[in-house]
Chains A and B, each alone.
Chain A
Amino acid sequence: DTEVTQTPKHLVMGMTNKKSLKCEQHMGHRAMYWYKQKAKKPPELMFVYSYEKLSINESVPSRFSPECPNSSLLNLHLHALQPEDSALYLCASSPPPAGYGYTFGSGTRLTVV
């Protein structure tokens, strides 16, 4: 079993909906990440939190809003998404810096209709 838990595993939402993706880890990692992955493409970094503070935002549209309530939890709030936002959303964690590599969660498969 992965040590980074993502919920839900699948999500279908309309373009006017508001939904949230959740990620939880209990490995004591202090850096957490959101990635987006389209089919046959590598993961694309969206956000990095380090010690619960947002340290990197890769110019992600404001319809994606991250939140890190504590060192174990990471949320991604979604609002007014477009069909092209349909993708696999991956959460990962690592002990900062990322020199030890990431542990990925199993992902949320998002479909925007």
Chain B
Amino acid sequence: QKEVEQNSGPLSVPEGAIASLNCTYSDRGSQSFFWYRQYSGKSPELIMFIYSNGDKEDGRFTAQLNKASQYVSLLIRDSQPSDSATYLCAANGGATNKLIFGTGTLLAVQP
């Protein structure tokens, strides 16, 4: 069973702090990895994707990938209350069109 695992949280951080979200995956054939943000009652929104080992930065967001450890993370700098949401990690299922989602981590940024 190909899996993507996340800590369900909630992860509580104060406003202005760095939020660190983590994800592991089991399928070594996965090539690309995604972070989606989902507000309660809304649909998932793609915020970051990463294909290569190392870091990828976009504004306040940094995605990190370590294929040897099968580990993906998302850092959110200067966290804002508007960042409070569930963050879904996903991996592509090898050569298929499937994305395999983790169970999501609920982030709560305290003002």
Neighbouring A residues of B34 by C-beta, 8 Å: 101
How many A residues touch B, CB cutoff 8 Å? Answer: 27
A42 touching B104, Cβ below 8 Å: yes
A34 proximal to B (CB < 8 A): no
Asked, given contacts A42-B104, A101-B49, whether A31 binds B97 with beta carbons under 8 Å apart, the answer is yes
In B86-111, which residues have CB < 8 Å from any A CB? 88, 90, 92-93, 95-99, 101-104
State whether the Cβ of A106 lies closer than 8 Å to any Cβ in chain B.
yes
Q: Does A21 contact B (CB under 8 A)?
A: no
Chain B residues lying within 8 Å of A109, measured Cβ to Cβ, are 41
- A97 and B96 contact, CB distance less than 8 A: yes
Contacts A45-B98, A104-B44 known; list 11 others, CB within 8 Å: A42-B101, A42-B104, A43-B44, A88-B41, A97-B92, A99-B92, A101-B32, A101-B49, A104-B43, A106-B43, A107-B43
